[in-house]
Amino acid sequence: MRFERRLKYYFLKFVRIKGEPHELALGMALGIFAGMLPIIPFHMALSVALALFLKGSKITALIGAWISNPLTWYLIYYYNYRLGAFILGFPKNNRLLSSLMPAVEHGDKLMDTFVKITGAGSKIIGAFTLGGMIMGIVASVPSYFIFLKLFRYIKTWREKIREHKRIQREHQ
């Protein structure tokens, strides 16, 4: 029961976010883009900075940045590297990456893994970054349109509720 109540609480907070659908969807897309980049401790800061610069919602940018979370970041970073390495023409089995993966798999602290990645050299960082930017674009562009539709629906739904309540007050 406690989980259901918490879920309802967060749902209500989500549908009550103020702003225009474009602004909210843009913030979400920018957050998702930032969340795909290999900048572990800076996803939220980058998402808010992008939202400020591009006039998106800072709140939804923060929410979108959580696409990279303790449950997903391993897969995101793994595929970031694979995509970037493929585009840059790196060999499929890279010894340096192979030495980093056990740290990730064994649940080393996030910052320790980040330090290992950054210490791995510019080729590895380049592959992570290129893959992250491509995956960020691929994920954020459709997410903008999906969330734009969702936030338009929520806005219409909220307006209908307000109108219904106004009509009820008038009839009392």
Whether residue 112 is predicted with pLDDT greater than 80 in this model: the reply is no
CB within 8 A of 82, min separation 6: which ones? Answer: 131
Closest CA to 132 of 93, 77, 64: 77
Contact of 130 with 87, CB cutoff 8 Å: yes
**Average per-residue pLDDT in the chain?**
84
Supply the pLDDT for residue 141. Answer: 96
Q: pLDDT band at residue 47, thresholds of 50, 70 and 90?
A: very high
Supply the pLDDT for residue 110. Answer: 62
Q: pLDDT band at residue 42, thresholds of 50, 70 and 90?
A: confident
Per-residue pLDDT tens digits for 10-40: 777 877 888 999 999 999 999 999 999 988 7
**Long-range contacts of the stretch 45-53 (C-beta < 8 A, 24+):** 51/26, 51/27
Reported pTM: 0.81
Contact of 99 with 124, CB cutoff 8 Å: no
Contact of 3 with 119, CB cutoff 8 Å: no
Greatest C-alpha distance within the chain = 75
